Structure 1
Amino acid sequence: MTLVSEVRLRQILDSRGNRTVEADVITESGGFGRAAAPSGASTGEYEAIELDPTEAIASAREHAVPRLEGQVYVGDQRDVDRTLGAADGTDDFSEIGANSAVAISMAAAKAATDVLGTPLYQHLGGAFRGDELPTPLGNVVGGGEHAADATAIQEFLAAPVGAPSVQDAVFANAAVHQEVHDRLDGRGIAAGKGDEGAWAPSIDDDEAFELVDAAVETVAEEFGFEIRFGLDMAGAELYDADEEAYVYRETTRDADEQIAYVADLVDEYDLAYVEDPLDENDYEGFAELTDRVGDRTLVCGDDLFVTNVERLRTGIEQEAANAVLVKPNQIGTLSDAVDAVELAVENGYRPVISHRSGETEDTTIAHLAAATAAPYIKTGAVGGERTAKLNELIRIEQNVSTP
């Protein structure tokens, strides 16, 4: 395999109009890979550190690039990522920035596929594991940190669990998104869009539940397969440490009340997925909720685990949650993200590969989900930076199903 000959870093715009880091990796044989770092609005306390893009690029050029150029082979992804970690020298990428690290990590993987002439998912699958395709979860109504004056709950997600193909699932999620719009319009409720392209109407959570439930039922009848829905509650954002309570628009709930509330929602709406229902430090509460509803829904830790194998191992020991959200930029490299997937799978947890609220046209996570046989991927339902991943999944599906 060929050595890295050059790493180029620049600032580009993400979907929110903020600056982020893009990396090009060029090899001695002319292989080329390009990738860009996403950025979250609702971020966990324990995530790898994202630096200001100017600072991240300057630090990566000083500390990481000299260790990569002429020193590392792009075909060995783990060596690339070990080199990034060694160049940073911290446990949270606070020196070169997780945004620089993940952009370089993903660009190196793409450069390797360019040299090999293979799809990215195949290269990552060869290095890691997997050959199955995920079901996409589509954000159709949003609030919380992603939209002002909307629902307290951050995301209402269409979950086309009965879709016979990725393409059918993608189209179903888009149809639910449109059905929600039509129902809002029929009620005379105006709605802009939040960070991830979901509708962000000025309605309360109860009305959103009724609206999404009806939209999902209508589209399921039209498409002829089962569609359920799920939530990202962003519990750490709802939790007020001073009050020791979860603060909604007009309601507060203590931890026990929050667990009971979520359990009732699972029962009432047959929820397929509940992400971050509790605070990012509440392993005990996650364990209690999982014990109550984990046999019929995914209880997924995002801020609880932050794609970190040590935090995930703690959760596994306490039986907190039964699924883990995996975001490469949250931990810094592809290898670290895959380590979290593999630890989850070994212990019966379901991995869910995820986008961020501030996204780019980069499609790496679609390939990562395919490569690791992740059962689900979160990447929105509409919007160019979201449909880039969804359309790539459709292409991957056609590629793997064509003899």
Structure 2
Amino acid sequence: MTTSISKIGAREIIDSRGNPTLEVEVTLDGGIIDRASVPSGASTGSHEALELRDHDKSRYDGKGVLQAVGNVENEISDRLVGCDAREQKQIDEALIELDGTSDKSRLGANAILGVSLSVAKAAAMSQQVSLFRHIGGSQANLLPVPMANILNGGVHTDWQSTDIQEFMVMPLGAASYSEGIRWIVEIYHKLKLVLAEKGFLTTVGDEGG
């Protein structure tokens, strides 16, 4: 079967913050290869799945992900090689069962998500369809309303102005996705002018706000 998983590999790469993160590469029997990386945010909520870091202070101040790389290339690979990449629900269920924890801390959420996303991308490519079409099916014709972060607070900014971490906008009522994006962009730039006029800092925070 050309959509069977033949190989799963992983490597440590550097994300946009200059920190190590995981990149997973999936190869299918038909020769399709796709990749997914899993950068993380500056903070982790108490109910979020946990990424796996090495905690080896001699490398990247303990933020390395070689353990997660090993989990992908050994335990996860052993379980998923031979599976049909098109069966995303079965792939994800197998990953969750293999990990066996409620917060995905044994194998690492970074390892699990990286594998899940790279499998989905490879399956979509093998069928010559967009990722949204592969996941949503033939009836996936409605894009969600975008949510955009326009102000950062908390640990996402160097100046502790507020404990609220993200101020977001949603362009409800826009006639199209592109119009909604335009509304967001115009709000973002207008807000910057208003803040500057009032003497506030307009530097860009950790997530663009």
TM-score range, shorter chain: 0.7 to 0.9
Give the one of 183, 199, 204 matched to 1:172: 183
Answer whether contact 1:64 1:88 (CA < 8 A) is retained. no
Map of 1:79 onto structure 2? 90
Q: TM-score, length-normalised on structure 1?
A: 0.46
Letter in 2 for 1:13: I
Letter in 1 for 2:177: V
User: Matches of residues 179-190 of structure 1 in structure 2 within 5 Å?
Assistant: 179-190=190-201
Answer whether contact 2:22 2:114 (CA < 8 A) is retained. yes
Give the one of 48, 61, 70 matched to 1:58: 70
CA gap of 1:138–1:46, structure 2 versus 1, over 3 A, is closer
Q: Of Structure 1 and Structure 2, which has the larger fraction of its residues in helix?
A: 1
Q: Distance in 2 between matches of 1:76 and 1:26?
A: 15
Map of 2:156 onto structure 1? 146
User: Matches of residues 305-316 of structure 1 in structure 2 within 5 Å?
Assistant: none
Map of 2:80 onto structure 1? 68
Give the one of 168, 174, 177 matched to 1:157: 168
Describe the SS at the equivalent of 1:67.
Answer: helix
Map of 1:252 onto structure 2? none
User: Matches of residues 240-389 of structure 1 in structure 2 within 5 Å?
Assistant: none
Q: Distance in 2 between matches of 1:33 and 1:106?
A: 9
Deviations 1:371-403 (A, max 9, x none): xxxxxxxxxxxxxxxxxxxxxxxxxxxxxxxxx
Q: Distance in 2 between matches of 1:151 and 1:86?
A: 40
Describe the SS at the equivalent of 1:168.
Answer: helix
Letter in 1 for 2:191: V
Runs of at least 4 residues of structure 1 off by over 6 A? none
Answer whether contact 2:132 2:140 (CA < 8 A) is retained. no
Deviations 1:40-90 (A, max 9, x none): 333222322211122211222221112222x21101112222222233233
Describe the SS at the equivalent of 1:12.
Answer: strand
Deviations 1:143-167 (A, max 9, x none): 1121132333222212211211111
Q: Distance in 2 between matches of 1:61 and 1:24?
A: 10
Pairwise CA RMSD = 1.9
Unaligned runs of 5+ in 1: 199-403
Q: TM-score, length-normalised on structure 2?
A: 0.85
Percent identity (aligned): 37
Unaligned runs of 5+ in 2: 54-64
1:22 aligns with 2:23: yes
Deviations 1:116-147 (A, max 9, x none): 111111110129x7431111121111111211
Q: Distance in 2 between matches of 1:18 and 1:78?
A: 31
Q: Distance in 1 between matches of 2:148 and 2:93?
A: 34
CA gap of 1:162–1:17, structure 2 versus 1, over 3 A, is same
Answer whether contact 1:63 1:88 (CA < 8 A) is retained. no
Map of 2:61 onto structure 1? none
Letter in 2 for 1:17: G
Map of 2:14 onto structure 1? 13
Letter in 2 for 1:90: T
Answer whether contact 1:64 1:83 (CA < 8 A) is retained. no
Give the one of 115, 118, 132 matched to 2:142: 132
Describe the SS at the equivalent of 2:147.
Answer: strand
Deviations 1:303-343 (A, max 9, x none): xxxxxxxxxxxxxxxxxxxxxxxxxxxxxxxxxxxxxxxxx
